Every structure is written in C-alpha cells, then in structure tokens.
Structure 1
Amino acid sequence: MNLSQTPIAIAVATTQTTCPYCGVGCGVSASMKQDGSIGIKGDELHPANQGRLCVKGSALGETVDLDGRLLYPKMRGADGNMRRVAWDEALDTVASTFSAIVAEHGPDAVALYVSGQLLTEDYYIANKLMKGYIGSANIDTNSRLCMSSAVAGHKRAFGEDLVPLAYEDLELADMVVLVGSNAAWCHPILFQRIARIKETKPHAKLVVIDPRRTATCELADLHLPVKAGTDVWLFNGLMSYLAHRGARDNAFIEAHTNGLNEALAVADADCADPATVARICKVDLADLLAFYEAFAGTEKVVTGFSMGVNQSSAGTDKVNSIINCHLITGRIGKPGMGPFSITGQPNAMGGREVGGLANMLAAHMDLDNAVHRDIVQGFWASPRIADQPGYKAVDLFRAIEDGRVKAVWVMATNPMVSLPDADLVRRALEKCELVVSSDIIEKTDTNAFAHVLLPALGWGEKDGTVTNSERRISRQRSFLLAPGEARPDWEIICDVARRMGFDGFHFDGPHAIFDEHARLSAHRNGEPEAAVGGAAKSRRVFSLAGLAGIGKPQYDALQPIQWPVQRLSDGSVVGTARVLEDLRFTHADGRARFVATVPRNPANQTSDEFPLVLNTGRVRDQWHTMTRTGKSATLANHIPESFIDIHPQDALLYGVREGGLARISSRWGAMVARVQHGGGIPRGSVFVPIHWNDQSASDARVGALVNPVVDPVSGEPEFKHTPVAIEEFRVAWHGFILTRHELALDDITHWTRVQGRDFTRFELAGRSNITDHAAWARKLLGVDDPEADWLEYEDLTDGTYRAVHVVDDRIDMCIFMSARPDLPSRSWLAGLFAKQQLEDADRVGLLVGQPIEKGADAGPTVCSCFGVGRNTICDAIRSKGLKEVGEVTACLKAGGNCGSCVPEIKKLLVEIKTVDAAEVA
C-alpha cells in the first residue's frame, strides 16, 4: 500500500463490518495498525463465517488505498477531456439533462444501471427515484447477469422470490448437491462448511454437477460432468425417477401444490428412461443412476445452485426443474433440505428486496399488479408509478444504441467488461447523449465513455446494510473518512432527485432510509385484495416489520439478522432461519407450483465456423472486473493473467500450444489469452475467466465474445454457452518486465498488467523482429543514461535477452525476453525486488536467468493466504514424506485459513505420489 495515500482512520478501535465480495456475506473485523495499514480478520461472532475469511476478504486491507481513486466530480469538456468541477455543477447537469429528456421524450428515455455492489439503502433510493418519481421501470442491475433466473424460478414456484434455507441446513443435510457451482473458488467459506460436514459426518455425501472438473470436485463423492446446457434433461429425469420409484410425498403434493400432472407429463415424455438421459447429458449411466438412487434414498438433501444454472437461455427452467424435484418429495420448509440459490454478489439479495430489477417493485411487490402499484405509490406519496417493465440489462444497452434511451446513469459497475456482446455496449455509450457514472475508480472501461463522473464512497467508507444468500441482513460500517469529495451513493441520488423537483428525498442518514424500507415491507402486507378468480391475500413473506421505526442508535448496533423479522410482545426482535416451514406459499391459493420445464438446447449451437463452446466464470482470487482485487499483490500471485483452458486433444486439433497465445472469436467479438491445460475441461469446450479488461490487458475482455441471447423469462444472458473458434496467435517473442515505474506499452502487441508488492509486472508478447534488443529495451524502460548500472545477457541463436537496471545496488527494473514462452520464474524475481541490496549471487542469477541458491524459487502461488508457492509445497511433500493435506498445513500453514487452496494441495499430493510411483517402477 502507498502509505502516503492511505485514507485517514476515524478511530483506532475495531469496526465490525461485512465483506464486499461474494454472496456468503462474511463478517469482517477491521482495525487500523500503528503503521497506518488496515488490519483485517474474520468476525468470529458473525454467523455466516464464524471468524473465517477467504483470501479475497483477508486482502481487503490492500485495496483501500487511493491509487486510481476518483476523488472529485469531473465532466467531459468540448475538447473531449475530463475536467474537475464542483459538485453543484455536476449534479445540476445530471438533473437538468434528465429532466429535459423526460420532458421531451418521456420517462422511458432515461435509465439507471445499478449493481449488487450498492448497499440496500442506495438501491432503495435509486429504485424510488426511477419508478416512483421519474415514472419508468428503466432501472436494472448487474445482478440481472447472475441471479435473475433464480428470482424468476422462485416466483414461479413459490409466488415470491424466496430462498427457503439457511447455511446451517448444509450442516444438517445428509447429502449436498452442487449444480453449476465451483464453490471451492467462488464461495470458499461456504465450501469449507461443507468440507467440515464431511469430516464430522462420514456418511454425508457431496455430489457435484458441472461440465468442468473444478476444484470443488476434489471433495466430491460423485462428479457428473454433464454436457453444457443439459441440466433440465438431468433434473426432469430425476423427477420422473422419483415419481415412479416410490419417492414422491403424496400427502404434501395433495395438500400444498398444484401442477404436478402437467410437469410430470413433460418430464416423462423425454426423460423417463435414464439411459436416454445419460446419453443426452453425456454422463456414465451407472453414475447417473447412483445420483438418482442417492437422491431418492436420502431425505435430507440440499441442492445448491449458482451461475452454471442461472446464466443460461434456459436458466429459469433449470431452476424450476431443480425445485420440482424437492416439491415432489416434500423436501422443503424443513431443516436440512431444500433448493438453495447461492448468490454471486454481496447485496444481490438486498437489491431484490427493494425492487432493483426492471420487472419488480420494492418490498417483493409486483410491477404488473395494480394493487401492489397502489400500495407502493401510496406509501411513497409519489406523483406517478411505473406500470410496465423496463428494459432488462442486455435490452437496455440495445435501447441506448438505438436511441430509445438517451441518458443512462451507471452506478458501481462496469458493463463495458461484464455484459455480453460488450462491443455493443461500447457503441451504445458512444452514441448516448448523457452517460453518468458513479464510481470509486476513475479509469475503467466504462468510465472512458462517461460525460459526468461522480465520486462515490467505497468499502470501509460507506455505511449501510447488505443481505447475503441466506437472507441475513448485515451492516457494512464505515471506519475510514471519506477521501477527497467522495459521497455516499444514496446522498448523490437524493441530491439529483431534489434538483429534479421531487419531494420524498430528505434523509438525515442511511438509518432513515432503512427505516422507510422496513416500514414499506410491512405496509398493507397481508390485507385482502381482489384477484382474478376469487379472493386472494397480498401477504408477502418478505417483511422487516420488526425493524420498522428503527432509530440511529439501534441501526448502528444492528446485529446480523435473517428476514422475515418480527417484533415480539416483549419488544425483542427476532429473525427467521428458514421460510416456508408453515408450507404457506405466496401464490393466491397458498400452494406451490410445479412448473413444466421442456428441455431445449442452447439458442446458438456450434458449427464448422465456430466448433467449440465457450464457458466463462471466476477464478479463485479475483473479483468481477478487478477494479478492487486487481490492486492487491497477494491476489495477483495465484493467476496473474487471463487464460484459455482447453483439452489437450482439442489444442492439438486446432494448432494451439500450452503456454502460447491463442485468439478465440465468436460472431460477436474476439480476444487473446494464454493457452493452458487445466485438466478439467471436456472435449469441445474452452473456459475463459471474466475478470480481465482493457485496463489490465491489451485484449482480454471475454465479454466481447459472449453470446447475448437471454432467458425469455428472466432476461439472464447465456454466459456458459457461446460457439467460438480458436487459432494460434503468432508472435515473434515472449517476455516480461518487472518495474517500479509506470510504463507506456502502446506499441506492444500483447500485454497484461499484474500488481506486485514492490513493483508492477507486465507480461508481454510482440510480433515485430527486434534487431537491437539493448536499445529497444532501454527505450521501453526509459533508461537513457549510458552510465547506468545495466546488467544484460543476449543469445542471438535463440532470441534470449535479459537486462536488469540497478539503482543504488537495488533492482529497479528488469526485462526478460525469448522466442519461447518458457521464461524464468517471476516469483524468484519478485523476491529480489523485496531486497534492499542485491548480493553478488543475485547478480549472477539475474544474468543466467535462474536463482543460484537452492530454494530461492517458491514457484507459482498456491496458498495466497500465507504466500506459499508450488515448489515449496512439492519440496516439503517429497522431503518430509507428507501424505495428507493436514500434514502440509501443519508444516507450511498452506490450506490453514480459508481452505480454497486445499483442492490444489490434494492434486499436488496425488501428482507427486503418481510420479514417484512411476519412477520406482
């Protein structure tokens, strides 16, 4: 961290807050250390994580510096350059332009695009402004991209967006099924809870259903590597199997559900024969039957699903096919069983509570329900209320490109990287009359197209609530002063609303907004309402009635609590661990719905031109588009650059080599990344991570390739199935630079920027033939002093060149180049940058391209929490005869914190045992 830019602490005392990353919603204890850095550890009293943090959460202290922060409002001038302006000028511009466009073109000509990174209070105000005062439902969120299929599936089945379970149900279950979820990397703390269950309950089973063999599979008793897009066939087959093998709960079905006959008829039509299902899903029949039999024979089953289910053009049907299997067995509303949507973002659930999607109203009310519209408008005393759905995320940016939406305000997200067909987003923003962005980082791919930049508070500075995957509301508390002129998102929105002439936006803090949110959740909740076909109730399970009237002291002291929240007669406030225990659903008749889910293939299939299927997702130590995690040297060590994971036989077929660069392309765009054989990808598929962007790499935005087709119900895009082609990206040389200075790399063909602890690292490749390496390298690095301490080595026969610039006996910069991609260890060189003075052996090692001292190269990072490299782990396994992960942890600490590296350590143990056995043979 650059201590000269460290935010000033409000107090040295420890603050209990919540992690801003995934939907697990871990509690964090943050405190200031004497050197000015931020101390981070898990909150032992928070029920979500009980003191544990994954490496991303543990590294939060490395991400709160002010490098790259947007600190002041800025506006783009006539010359195209951004200039600093006063808040009044920026807010007046936003308010007056929005008002003028609405007056001329109507309310649907403006839009907000928000984020699961917002706090619930921010989300609430944005939704109130757009739907209740501007009068349009054109507010959507990047949560559309990760969990909207789960929302739609819940509403179809239960009548309301309800996650029935709590995390403790994972511990109560005898069988956990994870579908499309690499929880070991994406939800590590939740995954470690599952791992501990298997240790304490040897009979408990874990089944993983995923086309890839991910780190999560290393713990699984059974892995079903289904063909991408065939989940509905699999679960329709399971439903049919349960129905005809005596596993159905007829009493529950009769008393509490509708629609079984229709849903079962569809399932039986195509999926009654397990052999047919196995053939379609491309799984072993014996493994399929083992899963079906285990599900049928185990009462306490939790089925957790995540992006692999939701991010599909059939995502909602996938969700309902899973729920159908729990309904037919009556495994819902009871401890240790049920369908469990594992949320991607820290506040995707909070956004759903306040109606953050374009087809919802606040407090779980429906936009297409006239009574609900009346309830919300009456409570807000707003001049109007949106009465039809707005544009969902993908359609929103199409509408901007078409000119139907003329102004957009983007909050806390980076759609230029995260949306599918991302080049369409570029075209849309280029054409848009007004692009406003509220952000904490100034230079992002999206902000490059903004006309107005508004500096928002970041994690550690802002104050409010978030809701995790188990409906648990937790406080994010501020412990840092606002840097520069940054302000809370809710306050910025309120200022714009008042400038547009709207009342109803006067709040003296986030506690007041939360109170209004809580009161709305209880307002007219449960009173009779007219419905087509007879009387119905407007009862909504979501309710914060017990927190209505909350004051600032109570808000500041609020402890994690699950909704619905009630206040008892003695005045105490209680939450609810699991919903639907009373088996009363929110449909008008109080019954759950089976939904007929007709299996169908993804909308775009492979062809001769695009023969491979692209799957996208996260890696272990990065988050979204890396605007925060990309600042952390700890997190950069695990996977420093984007990659294309491909099966070795496909790599041979298409002429690409492991370690080399390849270009993948689709109908929508192209990108370049390094090829790897991760060992878990099936033939016919490739996997590329989502995180890299134009700020961190020259050409690695995978969103530019992604198929923009969406689920017809939820509007969620098809991130897991894009037909692509792959070809070698030929270059003349490969290289890397480690430097303590900023560099301009405009003339380099391919580059990736990686944050180091004492330096910045650039991975390079070029197509030009360099005749004078020394002159070229000195110019690139800016070393023009002929007397500089410049160490270099060159071998013209194989194109090898390496040079080191030393200042005051300390390494300042180095460059290594070769015609081949197999270059010296970066981890060894990183260790040299930490030294205050180079030794003679170090200088020799730099010239020969490898460390002289044994053990100096720890290898690529495996355990980021404790900085333990692959070579260190392998050496310890061999030298000490380690056989189990626990022994590795006892020896090196690796795997002893968040546990997300445990699957990799297990693989190393197996690999070394296999190699040693082969050598003995």
Structure 2
Amino acid sequence: MKPRFSPRPQASTPLRQWSGPLTHELVQRPAEFGLGQLPHGLQPDAVTESICGYCATGCSLRVHLRAGEAVNLSADTNYPVNLGMACPKGWEALAPLRAADRATTPLLRGPDGELHSVSWDEALRTMVERFRGITERDSAEALAWLSTGQIPCEEMAFLGALAKFGMGMVHGDGNTRQCMATAATAYKQAFGFDAPPYTYADFEESDVLVLVGSNLCIAHPILWQRIMRNRRQPEIIVLDPRCTETAMAATRHLPLRPKSDLALLYGVARLLIENGWLDTGFIEKHTNGFEDFKAFLLAGPYALSEVNAASGLDEASILSLARSIGSGKRVSLWWTMGVNQSYEGTRTAQALINLALMTGNIGKPGTGPNSITGQCNAMGSRLFSNSTNLLGGHRFDREEDRAKISALLGIPESSIPTRDSWAYDRILEGAERGEIKGLWIVATNTAHSWCDQQRLRRVREGLDFLVVQDMYADTETARLADLVLPAAGWGEKDGTFINSERRIGRIRKVSRAPGQALADFHIFQLVAHYWGCGEPFSNWDSPETVFRMLTAVSRGQPCDISGISGYAMIESNGGIQWPLRESETGFSTERRLFADGKFFHPDGRARFLFDAPQAMPEPPDGDYPFILLTGRGTSSQWHTQTRTSKSPVLRKLYPENPYIEVHPSDADRLGLRAGESVIVESRRGQMSAAVHVTTTVPGGSVFVPMHYPAVNRLTLSSFDPHSRQPSYKACAVHLSRIRNA
C-alpha cells in the first residue's frame, strides 16, 4: 500500500472548506460527527447495553432511554461478567454526565491569567501554533502526551497514531502506568507477552484463593461476589498489612509487615521446594530457570525463621500458607495495587507467578497468577495506545514490526519511532529539566493522582504550553492548563473496552455531550486536520472503522483478534476474550490462556525471574515514625473523584473530608481522640485529616484513602526499576495535633 503521509505537514485550512465558523458547523451538522444522534438502529424508548466506564471488572449495564434520553440504568443479567450485579458506581454512572460543571466550550488562558471561552477554531489554531513553535525551536521530542485507561481502544489508538505518526512525537504514556505497568511488565518478562491468563470463572472454580494487596470487596466488589458464588467452600487467604474488608471476610488473614511481601513469597517458594510440594513435570516441560531460582532461595535468607523475622508472621502461619498452595488442587493467586504500586512490584508479581509455575497452577480451571486490573480500559491501553509499545503489542525497536504496521496502516515506516517512549515519570522529569516544553494531557488528572505534588508544580513551570482534554474544566489539572478542550465522557461515545480477563466489550453512545463538547475521537480528527496531517487519517472515520484496523494490526500476535468481524459480533457473544484468530470458527464464552503449556517466548517456555528484596526507599525514623499506607476508601469512590463526586448518592456513601486510620496504641501514645484533626506530614508536604481510631491498621502504620486531593502531597517519587510504576503504598510520615491559637 502506498503511504499517504506527506513528508511534512502542510498548513491547515478550514475543515472540508466549510464556510462558517467551525464551532457552528460542528454543532449544526451532527451527521458529520455523530452528535445528537442515538446509536444506529436504537429507538427513542429502547433499552440497550453498554460496558461500565469505571473499573476493569467490565460489567454490562442496561441503559433505559425515554424520548431519546438515557434516564436510568440496571444491571445486565445475561452478561458473563456481572450476571445481573452492579456496584454503587455502576448504578450511578449517568450522574457524572449531568453535572452542572461540565466543560462545554474550549477555554484559553488569556493575558489576564484567566481561562476564557473561545471557539474550536481559535482553540485548535492556538494549540497547533504553540506546539509547532516548540518543535521548530527545539524538536518534536520537546512535545509529549499523557493519556489514560479510561477512553476506548479506538480513541487510544487514534491519539497514539496521530501523536507519533502524524505529529512526530516520540514520548507519550498513559495513567495505566500508575496502576498496571507492573503487572504488564511481569507478564511480559515471565510469559513473553502481557497476558493475564484467567477468566472470571476461575473465582468460582478455585479450592484455594490467595489475594495479595487486594481489597477486592471495596475495589472490585462484583469480583468478590463471584468468589461468593464458589460452591467448593474454598480457602480464601488474604495477605495485607491492614485488616481490610476483604481480610475480614476471608477464611484467613495474614497481616504481614508493609513491603515484606517479596521476602514472604520467597519463603513460601522455599518451603514448597523443601517439602516437595512441586509439579516437577510441569517445571521440566514448560519452564526455564527453575534450578537458578532454587539455588537463589536455598542460599538466601528465606528459611522459615528468617521470613518470620522479616514479615512479622509466625512460623506456623507461613508454613500453613505454603501447605495450602502446595497441596491445593486448584490454586489461584490474585493481586492488584498493593503489589503493583511498589518499588519492587515487578519482582513481587513474578514471585506470585513463580509459585503458580512451581505448582502447575496455570492454564487449568480455578488456577493462575492473576492480576486484577484497575481502570476500565487499562488493558486496551496496554495493547493499543501506541505509547510505550507499538500498536498491538508490537515493538518500536523491531524492524519487522515497524514494517508490518506501516503496510497495514498505509504510513511510511520512517514516521514510526525506532525506540520506546519515556515512561510517565521520565516525561515529567523531562519537563522539569526543560526538555519537554509542550504537554497534552487527555482524560487524566495528573495534578491530583501523581506522587509528590509539589514536584509536579515545578514540572508545570517548565512547560511552555499545557493542553488538557477532559469532561470537566475544574479538575486540579485543568486549572493549570493553558488550553482546555471539552470532551465527551462515557455514555456519550462509541467504542470498546478490554477488561481484566481480556474480554472486549462494547460501549455505546446513549446521550449527547453538552454544549460544544466532542468525543475524544472527533477532537483527534480535528487536531489531525489543523496540524495538516488530516489526509492520512481520512479513513479513520469512525470508531468501528478503527476497531477493524486494530483487528488487522493484532493478526499473528498473542492478542490476535482478527476473528472479530465488528461490533455486532462482540455484542451477540456477550463480549469476546482475546485471542480470537481469524481461523477459529467456534469459541467458548470464557477462555483461559496456557492450557497447552505453551508460552509466548520463542522457546515456548515461561521463565522464573527473581531478585533479592530491597530496603524500603523511605523507612520510618525518629522524625517520621509512621509508615503511610494508601488505597481505596469505599466502593463509592473512584480515583480522584472527578466523576464520583458528581453523584449526590455516591457522595453520601463516603466521608466528605479526609480521614486517617490510626491504631489505638498509637492514638493513646500521642493523645489523639477519635474525630479530632491532625496534621499528617512527610518530607514533601502535609495535609490535615480527621482521626479514625481502629485496629484495622497495624501499629506503627497509618492509612489514608487515595481519593482526596491532598494525599499525594505526601507520597514519594520512588519507582519500580522494571515497570517505572510509582510506589504509592509506603512512605514515612509524622502526625501532630492541631492546636488552637
């Protein structure tokens, strides 16, 4: 196919030579951009289905329409994920769309320092002028973007292709880096591809479930309900420093010391070896590196007494954990942010993978080393965002991959970068150093969610021009922007999400975005036009067209979805798990990977990977004597509360103001009373919080939910060396009473 890209973008002209103001044309010609229309074939008083836009459980919601307006939601009883269940966020998913503070027009910061409404034409001309000025003065490498795990695959792919192939950017990453980079890296290194092996049926098929750093009851309540459907009377073991809601509901809670999980898991692996609780046939036939791992364990400080000292767990509990894993017929190991958001999270995830490989607990019902994903489309981001890997899990540094993508998409191979992007933290460090001068942030709230917020303010000072594209103009990040582009949200656009179990599900447009807000897909079309590279993307004319491109791009990859003909096939099958190759004529609703024992490394074997545990980057000391733990607060809160705070119902289900959990012994020693306010201070910043005295948090540690804006004033800029994921879960803090003047 002949490349259709011009060597250099040409000066832009009004879109399709329309004579009127562009804003007027967008609003008045809905057929051109799909505005104000119901989904194709949908009646004004119909009921349709759409995958929820919060977490990666991927529940299907039934959307009830009256006179063409979405008026209510109910849970889809036929969908194989949620089986008629929904959490509070799902029931209230329409509320954020109706919020009074939606961004409805582009906003440009004027000479007075304030944001003012402007037309789309002025907004996009300004964006292009400022970004082009940066590339001409410096280079295209002085531009970068930060995206999300919250928009559909088709929009992620469009953004990544536009930025890299059309605008010449090298660096771009997503906030998936904050939740799933560790799991993705662990799987890639161990299996040869980012491939969560399980299906949700495994929750119901396990005899033993081990949850590490996962408060499933709160973070993924529908998945906890899937465990409750398990008829095998399973043993449910929770490894967590806190006595979380999940720990309380489990059959056994092991309250290990914060960040001792890697040493504990190595100790368990050593006990499996010493007691012969191994599947030697599986190890010999399907893995590499076991003998090196065995030597590492036997030579290191992983004897029972040493792991007891490191973890704070008694020897009987550690031995019992090893016995349950070693003797269980169907053992599944599950983890989420308590593992991923760690300075050594990749090796901790791989320690769980190692346990599954040692015991042959993979590829069979009720088994697997299984990461539970955070955001609704983090898996889509991992595969198709074109940020830190080339579309479809291909590699930027591999010539044959670049040639394949070039041929399939009709782009010159020279437009594809030959090296990986910087990760999220390095993009921000580049801005702090003055190497990144223009930044485009899409559907994420960096100024709230990124660690060490004071440092982020310095990053902002280093930028010449910041563009924020979001549903709301009042997020912490949008308030810092030079230009705000108003975007449609979930329920106002079409596309696909990929959930934790690799299931591709359909999202539908059931409501029109307010004012002049546009779907991100259409904003990318406009940016391409104004940048002067619109012609190469002229066939990127609808989300479903782009989805079909992605099926072609995936062909031959582990995530091959070339067998999916389009959206109708996804809908009629209750979502489809990847892979589904073009050659496959029949498939099960729920499928797991590695049933044949073949992995994605060239030799078909999985790898044992390990490193010695490292010291906590910032342990408590005399000045900062407490370990700060962070995590989910309630099932009615979500991340930075950008959307959940818009629902009056959800706001009633969680405390409005920040609180801190303190153990009774620590509260007594400091003279703290329940309900009084304290200053929580780290070496980077401080916040105030109301004291909640509880035994759910261990002595010497405190816990604050991550959803409140001030929390990341405290957290540490520490990153896993393999995944570059931030270590949000442990830093040193000091508590002091607020004294009246």
TM-score (normalizing by structure 1):
0.73
Mapped partners of 1:633, 1:424: distance in 2: 33
Structure-1 residue corresponding to 2:160 = 127
Stretch deviating more after TM superposition (418-427 or 158-167): 418-427
> 2:159–2:385: 8 Å Cα contact kept in structure 1?
no
Q: 2:648 aligns with which of 629, 633, 638?
A: 633
- Superposed CA offset, 1:466-507 (max 9, x none): 011000010110111222111111221232123223243222
RMSD of equivalent CA atoms: 2.0
Mapped partners of 1:500, 1:705: distance in 2: 40
Q: 1:726 aligns with which of 707, 730, 735?
A: 735
Mapped partners of 1:257, 1:553: distance in 2: 39
Structure 1 residue 659 corresponds to structure 2 residue 675: yes
Structure-2 residue corresponding to 1:48 = 81
Structure-2 residue corresponding to 1:605 = 619
Aligned AA for 2:627?
V
Secondary structure of 2:536's aligned partner: coil
Aligned AA for 1:566?
R
Secondary structure of 1:299's aligned partner: coil
Mapped partners of 1:629, 1:12: distance in 2: 27
Mapped partners of 2:90, 2:514: distance in 1: 22
Structure-2 residue corresponding to 1:346 = 376
- After superposition, the Cα gap between the structure-2 partners of 1:450 and 1:557, relative to the gap in structure 1 and judged at 3 Å, is farther
Mapped partners of 2:365, 2:356: distance in 1: 13
- Residues 104-503 of structure 1 mapped to structure 2, 5 A cutoff: 104-197=137-230, 200-202=231-233, 204-358=234-388, 360-380=389-409, 381-382=411-412, 383-502=414-533, 503=535
- After superposition, the Cα gap between the structure-2 partners of 1:447 and 1:279, relative to the gap in structure 1 and judged at 3 Å, is same
Mapped partners of 1:573, 1:298: distance in 2: 29
Mapped partners of 1:491, 1:575: distance in 2: 33
Structure-2 residue corresponding to 1:616 = 630
| Deviation of the 1:704 alpha carbon | 1.2
| Deviation of the 1:653 alpha carbon | 2.5
- Residues 812-827 of structure 1 mapped to structure 2, 5 A cutoff: none
Stretch deviating more after TM superposition (11-20 or 335-344): 11-20
| Deviation of the 1:129 alpha carbon | 2.1
| Deviation of the 1:508 alpha carbon | 2.1
TM-score (normalizing by structure 2):
0.91
- After superposition, the Cα gap between the structure-2 partners of 1:36 and 1:129, relative to the gap in structure 1 and judged at 3 Å, is closer
- After superposition, the Cα gap between the structure-2 partners of 1:637 and 1:261, relative to the gap in structure 1 and judged at 3 Å, is same
- After superposition, the Cα gap between the structure-2 partners of 1:362 and 1:497, relative to the gap in structure 1 and judged at 3 Å, is same
Q: 1:545 aligns with which of 552, 557, 562?
A: 562
Structure-2 residue corresponding to 1:100 = 133
Stretch deviating more after TM superposition (145-154 or 103-112): 103-112
Structure-2 residue corresponding to 1:580 = 594
Q: Higher Cα Rg: structure 1 or 2?
A: 1
Aligned AA for 2:286?
H
| Deviation of the 1:670 alpha carbon | 1.1
Mapped partners of 1:461, 1:284: distance in 2: 53
Secondary structure of 1:545's aligned partner: coil
Mapped partners of 1:410, 1:541: distance in 2: 30
> 2:54–2:90: 8 Å Cα contact kept in structure 1?
yes
> 1:658–1:676: 8 Å Cα contact kept in structure 2?
yes
> 2:664–2:694: 8 Å Cα contact kept in structure 1?
no
Structure-2 residue corresponding to 1:22 = 55
Mapped partners of 1:210, 1:662: distance in 2: 25
Mapped partners of 1:227, 1:432: distance in 2: 41
- After superposition, the Cα gap between the structure-2 partners of 1:559 and 1:37, relative to the gap in structure 1 and judged at 3 Å, is closer
Structure 1 residue 596 corresponds to structure 2 residue 610: yes
> 2:191–2:607: 8 Å Cα contact kept in structure 1?
yes
- Superposed CA offset, 1:655-705 (max 9, x none): 432201111111111111111023210011111111123xxxxxxx10111
**Gapped runs of 5+ residues in structure 1?**
1-6, 526-539, 694-700, 732-766, 768-921
> 1:563–1:576: 8 Å Cα contact kept in structure 2?
no
| Deviation of the 1:275 alpha carbon | 2.1
Q: 1:690 aligns with which of 685, 689, 706?
A: 706
Structure 1 residue 709 corresponds to structure 2 residue 709: no
Structure 1 residue 676 corresponds to structure 2 residue 676: no
| Deviation of the 1:133 alpha carbon | 3.3
- Superposed CA offset, 1:714-759 (max 9, x none): 001111111111111234xxxxxxxxxxxxxxxxxxxxxxxxxxxx
Structure-1 residue corresponding to 2:13 = none
- Superposed CA offset, 1:621-643 (max 9, x none): 10011111101122122322211
Aligned AA for 1:375?
K
> 1:262–1:596: 8 Å Cα contact kept in structure 2?
no
Structure 1 residue 89 corresponds to structure 2 residue 122: yes
Structure-1 residue corresponding to 2:536 = 504
> 2:505–2:570: 8 Å Cα contact kept in structure 1?
no
Mapped partners of 2:68, 2:489: distance in 1: 22
Secondary structure of 1:725's aligned partner: strand
- Superposed CA offset, 1:304-334 (max 9, x none): 1000000000000101111011111121111
Stretch deviating more after TM superposition (271-280 or 717-726): 271-280
| Higher relative contact order (Cα pairs below 8 Å, separated by 6+ residues) | 2
Mapped partners of 2:199, 2:694: distance in 1: 34
- After superposition, the Cα gap between the structure-2 partners of 1:377 and 1:104, relative to the gap in structure 1 and judged at 3 Å, is farther
> 1:232–1:597: 8 Å Cα contact kept in structure 2?
no
Mapped partners of 2:683, 2:543: distance in 1: 45
| Deviation of the 1:462 alpha carbon | 1.3
- After superposition, the Cα gap between the structure-2 partners of 1:288 and 1:667, relative to the gap in structure 1 and judged at 3 Å, is same
Structure-1 residue corresponding to 2:102 = 69
| Deviation of the 1:554 alpha carbon | 5.4
> 1:33–1:39: 8 Å Cα contact kept in structure 2?
no
Mapped partners of 2:547, 2:732: distance in 1: 45
Secondary structure of 1:706's aligned partner: coil
Secondary structure of 1:626's aligned partner: coil
| Deviation of the 1:553 alpha carbon | 5.8
- Superposed CA offset, 1:337-396 (max 9, x none): 1111000110000101114543x2211122333332333334331442122222222222
Mapped partners of 1:8, 1:418: distance in 2: 33
Mapped partners of 1:301, 1:215: distance in 2: 22
- Superposed CA offset, 1:553-604 (max 9, x none): 657767411000134576x677761111122211121111100231122222
> 1:153–1:320: 8 Å Cα contact kept in structure 2?
yes
- After superposition, the Cα gap between the structure-2 partners of 1:296 and 1:370, relative to the gap in structure 1 and judged at 3 Å, is same
Aligned length: 696
Mapped partners of 1:290, 1:557: distance in 2: 45
Stretch deviating more after TM superposition (31-40 or 642-651): 31-40
Q: Percent identity?
A: 35
| Deviation of the 1:9 alpha carbon | 8.9
Mapped partners of 2:56, 2:569: distance in 1: 25
Mapped partners of 2:580, 2:589: distance in 1: 4
Secondary structure of 2:146's aligned partner: strand
| Deviation of the 1:159 alpha carbon | 0.6
| Deviation of the 1:32 alpha carbon | 3.4
Aligned AA for 2:375?
Q
**Gapped runs of 5+ residues in structure 2?**
1-34, 39-43
Mapped partners of 1:150, 1:461: distance in 2: 30
| Deviation of the 1:223 alpha carbon | 0.5
- After superposition, the Cα gap between the structure-2 partners of 1:274 and 1:30, relative to the gap in structure 1 and judged at 3 Å, is same
- Residues 765-776 of structure 1 mapped to structure 2, 5 A cutoff: none
Secondary structure of 1:366's aligned partner: coil
Secondary structure of 1:504's aligned partner: helix
- After superposition, the Cα gap between the structure-2 partners of 1:375 and 1:730, relative to the gap in structure 1 and judged at 3 Å, is farther
